Structure 1
Amino acid sequence: MSKLAYQYVVLRCVPRVDREEFVNVGVVVYCQATDYLDVAWHVDRERLRAFDPRLDLDQVCEALEFVEGVCAGDERGGAAAQAPLTQRFGFLKAPRSTVIQPGPVHGGVTTDPARQLQHLVEKLVS
């Protein structure tokens, strides 16, 4: 089995940008060698409510479903979903000042990008 280079970003929910507090809610993994781009996410509603009871948790989930659409290349991701994978990952990793923000880009090697994604979600989100 050959080792494949991959990159990933952790998606953070930032309920109040002014406080700079966040909760990890997802991970996006990109492996150029296998044309793999996917996201896995989990929203802990109770934990996020503790940060800000006024947070619209349905909006948080909708934003994460948008990320799913961008990764899958379907209509949920709008125009961004039509770009090549490299550009889609670039769009998803770009800093933004919204409730869902990507953390820094990290990299590694794996033999199975999908299994690596599940491992990262278990380790960093769940």
Structure 2
Amino acid sequence: MTEFTLSVLPATVELHDYEYAVIRAVPRVERGECVNVGVLLYCRQESHLAARTHLDQARLLALDPVADVQGVRRALQGIEAVCHGGPQAGPAAGDSAGQRFRWLTAPRSAIVQPGPVHTGLTADPEAELRRLFDQLVL
């Protein structure tokens, strides 16, 4: 006789699409070597824009012993400020979360750069940001 186990399905969970990009430090642009230093996540339905950053100084200096560590830290603080949208975001403070995400993920040739934008589905954008950060940065 076959035994069946019934599992209780959770109540319907509303999923939202989101976009994210890894933030990279590229101390010597001409070499193309990078270290992941953060994640940006934008969820249009929730008007949610957030970043989590962490600079592993030893990894950065392994790529370039004279890398501008303080400059990278300031750039990461700037990214977080733009995500929050407060007065420290400067002129971007008045932009929508989507406009700020697009500006932050625009390609640039600087020591701190966004990677390609990817998409996914989530019921909890902040939990998804933590998961991506743990997986891709830490």
Question: What TM-score results when the alignment is normalised by the length of structure 1?
Answer: 0.97
Q: Which consecutive unaligned segments of at least 5 residues does structure 1 have?
A: none
What amino acid is the match of 1:21? E
Q: Which residue in 1 is equivalent to 2:9?
A: none
Which portions of structure 1, spanning 4 or more consecutive aligned residues, are displaced by more than 3 angstroms?
Answer: none
Correspondence for 2:40 among 22, 28, 34: 28
Matches for 1:1-126 after TM superposition, within 5 Å: 1-126=13-138
Q: Distance between the aligned counterparts of 1:33 and 1:52, measured in 2?
A: 40
Give the SS at the match of 1:10: strand
* Matched residue count: 126
What is the percent sequence identity of the aligned residues?
Answer: 46
- Using the TM superposition, name which of 16-25 and 68-77 deviates more: 68-77
Rg (Cα) greater in structure? 2
1:51, CA displacement in angstroms? 0.5
Structure with the bigger percentage of helix: 1
Measured in 2, the distance between the counterparts of 1:24 and 1:85 equals 23
- The question of whether the paired residues in 2 share the 8 Å contact of 1:65 and 1:76 is answered with no
Q: Please, what TM-score do these two structures have when normalized by structure 2?
A: 0.89
Question: Quick check: 63-72 or 79-88, which moved more?
Answer: 79-88
Q: How many Å separate the matches in 2 of 1:118 and 1:33?
A: 19
Partner of 2:7: none
Unaligned runs of 5+ in 2: 1-12
